Amino acid sequence: MITFGFKGILDDYGLQMEEIAMDSTCENQSTLHSVWSLILRLKFCVGRTNALGYELFALVGEANGQAVPFAFIFTTSTDGTAASGVKDRMLHDLLNYVVKRCPNTKFTLSDKDPSKVSTFHHMIMHAKHQLCCWHGNEYVKESLVENTPPAMYDLHKAHAVFSFI
Protein backbone atom coordinates (compact mmCIF):
# COMPACT_ATOMS: atom_id res chain seq x y z
CA MET A 1 0.00 0.00 0.00
CA ILE A 2 1.18 3.49 -0.82
CA THR A 3 -0.65 6.34 0.89
CA PHE A 4 -0.10 10.04 0.50
CA GLY A 5 -1.94 13.12 1.67
CA PHE A 6 -1.69 16.78 0.81
CA LYS A 7 -0.82 18.47 4.10
CA GLY A 8 -0.75 21.97 2.60
CA ILE A 9 -4.23 21.60 1.13
CA LEU A 10 -5.57 20.17 4.38
CA ASP A 11 -3.97 23.00 6.37
CA ASP A 12 -5.40 25.62 3.98
CA TYR A 13 -8.92 24.19 3.55
CA GLY A 14 -9.47 21.73 6.41
CA LEU A 15 -11.28 24.04 8.80
CA GLN A 16 -13.80 25.11 6.16
CA MET A 17 -14.50 21.56 4.88
CA GLU A 18 -18.07 20.46 5.48
CA GLU A 19 -18.19 17.66 2.91
CA ILE A 20 -15.75 14.79 2.37
CA ALA A 21 -16.13 12.06 -0.24
CA MET A 22 -14.29 8.80 -0.84
CA ASP A 23 -14.25 6.77 -4.01
CA SER A 24 -12.07 4.14 -5.61
CA THR A 25 -11.51 2.46 -8.91
CA CYS A 26 -14.37 0.10 -9.58
CA GLU A 27 -13.76 -3.65 -9.38
CA ASN A 28 -15.46 -4.34 -12.69
CA GLN A 29 -14.50 -1.24 -14.65
CA SER A 30 -11.16 -0.07 -15.94
CA THR A 31 -11.62 3.68 -15.44
CA LEU A 32 -12.24 5.98 -12.55
CA HIS A 33 -15.98 6.39 -12.47
CA SER A 34 -16.67 9.10 -9.96
CA VAL A 35 -17.79 12.68 -10.17
CA TRP A 36 -14.29 13.63 -9.14
CA SER A 37 -12.59 11.82 -12.02
CA LEU A 38 -11.82 15.18 -13.62
CA ILE A 39 -9.31 15.91 -10.88
CA LEU A 40 -8.10 12.34 -10.62
CA ARG A 41 -6.83 11.82 -14.17
CA LEU A 42 -3.98 9.57 -13.13
CA LYS A 43 -3.38 8.11 -16.58
CA PHE A 44 -0.49 5.97 -15.36
CA CYS A 45 -2.86 3.96 -13.15
CA VAL A 46 -6.23 4.06 -14.85
CA GLY A 47 -6.92 1.20 -17.21
CA ARG A 48 -4.66 -1.30 -15.50
CA THR A 49 -5.46 -0.96 -11.80
CA ASN A 50 -7.95 -3.77 -11.38
CA ALA A 51 -6.69 -6.01 -14.18
CA LEU A 52 -3.52 -6.37 -12.09
CA GLY A 53 -5.29 -6.56 -8.72
CA TYR A 54 -4.70 -2.96 -7.60
CA GLU A 55 -7.16 -0.40 -6.29
CA LEU A 56 -6.81 3.38 -6.12
CA PHE A 57 -8.78 5.25 -3.43
CA ALA A 58 -9.26 9.01 -3.43
CA LEU A 59 -10.45 11.23 -0.60
CA VAL A 60 -11.68 14.66 -1.66
CA GLY A 61 -13.42 17.61 -0.11
CA GLU A 62 -15.48 20.45 -1.50
CA ALA A 63 -14.39 24.08 -1.29
CA ASN A 64 -15.95 26.96 -3.16
CA GLY A 65 -17.88 24.55 -5.37
CA GLN A 66 -14.77 22.65 -6.47
CA ALA A 67 -13.39 19.26 -5.56
CA VAL A 68 -10.16 19.45 -3.58
CA PRO A 69 -7.94 16.32 -3.36
CA PHE A 70 -6.90 15.41 0.19
CA ALA A 71 -5.32 11.98 0.00
CA PHE A 72 -4.86 8.82 -2.06
CA ILE A 73 -4.22 5.14 -1.34
CA PHE A 74 -2.85 2.77 -3.95
CA THR A 75 -3.12 -0.84 -2.80
CA THR A 76 -2.94 -4.45 -3.92
CA SER A 77 -5.47 -5.62 -1.32
CA THR A 78 -8.24 -6.21 -3.88
CA ASP A 79 -7.14 -9.64 -5.10
CA GLY A 80 -8.78 -11.51 -2.20
CA THR A 81 -5.57 -12.53 -0.43
CA ALA A 82 -5.51 -9.74 2.17
CA ALA A 83 -6.26 -10.64 5.78
CA SER A 84 -9.72 -9.91 7.11
CA GLY A 85 -10.23 -6.27 8.12
CA VAL A 86 -7.15 -4.91 6.33
CA LYS A 87 -9.17 -2.66 4.02
CA ASP A 88 -11.13 -1.24 6.97
CA ARG A 89 -7.94 -0.54 8.95
CA MET A 90 -6.29 1.03 5.91
CA LEU A 91 -9.23 3.39 5.32
CA HIS A 92 -9.49 4.12 9.06
CA ASP A 93 -5.82 5.16 9.23
CA LEU A 94 -6.16 7.44 6.20
CA LEU A 95 -9.37 9.04 7.43
CA ASN A 96 -7.90 9.49 10.92
CA TYR A 97 -5.21 11.71 9.39
CA VAL A 98 -7.74 13.77 7.42
CA VAL A 99 -10.46 14.06 10.11
CA LYS A 100 -8.09 15.74 12.56
CA ARG A 101 -7.63 18.52 10.01
CA CYS A 102 -11.32 18.74 9.01
CA PRO A 103 -13.21 19.02 12.33
CA ASN A 104 -16.28 20.73 10.82
CA THR A 105 -17.30 17.93 8.44
CA LYS A 106 -21.10 17.65 8.26
CA PHE A 107 -21.53 15.29 5.29
CA THR A 108 -19.67 12.28 3.98
CA LEU A 109 -20.25 10.65 0.61
CA SER A 110 -19.28 7.34 -0.97
CA ASP A 111 -20.61 4.47 -2.98
CA LYS A 112 -22.30 1.59 -1.12
CA ASP A 113 -19.02 -0.12 -0.18
CA PRO A 114 -19.54 -1.27 3.43
CA SER A 115 -15.89 -0.53 4.32
CA LYS A 116 -16.18 3.09 3.24
CA VAL A 117 -19.58 3.63 4.88
CA SER A 118 -18.44 2.02 8.13
CA THR A 119 -15.17 3.95 8.22
CA PHE A 120 -16.93 7.27 7.72
CA HIS A 121 -19.50 6.41 10.40
CA HIS A 122 -16.92 5.41 13.00
CA MET A 123 -14.51 8.26 12.29
CA ILE A 124 -17.02 11.12 11.86
CA MET A 125 -20.05 10.00 13.88
CA HIS A 126 -21.74 13.40 13.83
CA ALA A 127 -21.71 13.62 10.01
CA LYS A 128 -24.57 12.48 7.80
CA HIS A 129 -23.45 9.83 5.33
CA GLN A 130 -24.96 9.86 1.86
CA LEU A 131 -24.69 7.91 -1.36
CA CYS A 132 -22.93 10.23 -3.78
CA CYS A 133 -25.04 11.66 -6.59
CA TRP A 134 -23.08 9.93 -9.33
CA HIS A 135 -23.53 6.49 -7.76
CA GLY A 136 -27.22 7.18 -7.13
CA ASN A 137 -27.75 8.16 -10.76
CA GLU A 138 -25.91 5.06 -11.97
CA TYR A 139 -28.11 2.85 -9.77
CA VAL A 140 -31.23 4.41 -11.28
CA LYS A 141 -29.86 3.98 -14.83
CA GLU A 142 -29.01 0.32 -14.19
CA SER A 143 -32.48 -0.31 -12.75
CA LEU A 144 -34.12 1.28 -15.79
CA VAL A 145 -32.01 -0.77 -18.20
CA GLU A 146 -32.89 -3.99 -16.38
CA ASN A 147 -36.57 -3.06 -16.63
CA THR A 148 -37.29 -4.56 -13.24
CA PRO A 149 -39.04 -2.94 -10.29
CA PRO A 150 -36.74 -1.63 -7.57
CA ALA A 151 -36.13 -3.92 -4.62
CA MET A 152 -38.12 -3.27 -1.50
CA TYR A 153 -36.11 -1.56 1.20
CA ASP A 154 -35.65 -3.91 4.11
CA LEU A 155 -34.73 -2.05 7.29
CA HIS A 156 -33.69 -5.27 9.03
CA LYS A 157 -31.23 -6.24 6.27
CA ALA A 158 -29.75 -2.73 6.29
CA HIS A 159 -29.46 -2.83 10.09
CA ALA A 160 -27.69 -6.21 9.91
CA VAL A 161 -24.97 -4.61 7.78
CA PHE A 162 -24.86 -1.24 9.58
CA SER A 163 -26.10 -1.23 13.18
CA PHE A 164 -26.48 2.57 13.16
CA ILE A 165 -29.34 2.37 10.62
> Contact at 8 Å (CB) between 55 and 33?
no
Percent helix / strand / coil, the chain, rounded to 5:
40, 20, 40
Contacts of range 127-130, beta carbons closer than 8 Å, 24 or more positions apart: 127/20
CATH classification (class only), 2-133: alpha beta
What is the Cβ-side half-sphere exposure of residue 55, based on CA atoms within 13 angstroms?
18
Provide the pLDDT for residue 35: 39
32-55 exposure pattern, b = at least 16 Cβ within 10 A, e = fewer: bbbbbbeebeeeebbeebbeeebb
Provide the pLDDT for residue 101: 93
pLDDT string in tens for the chain (165-residue length): 888 899 999 999 999 999 999 988 754 443 344 434 434 444 344 444 556 667 888 899 987 778 889 999 888 755 667 788 888 888 999 999 999 999 999 999 888 888 899 999 999 999 998 887 777 788 788 877 887 776 777 878 888 887 876
> Contact at 8 Å (CB) between 118 and 162?
yes
Provide the pLDDT for residue 81: 73
> Contact at 8 Å (CB) between 53 and 39?
no
> Contact at 8 Å (CB) between 44 and 136?
no
This prediction has a pTM of: 0.70
Q: Is the dihedral of CA 96, 156, 130, 33 positive or negative?
A: positive
Of 111, 130, 113, 109, which is closest to residue 77 (Cα–Cα)?
Answer: 113
Encoded amino acid at 105, one letter = T
Provide the pLDDT for residue 33: 43
> CA 131 to CA 111: how far, in whole Å?
6
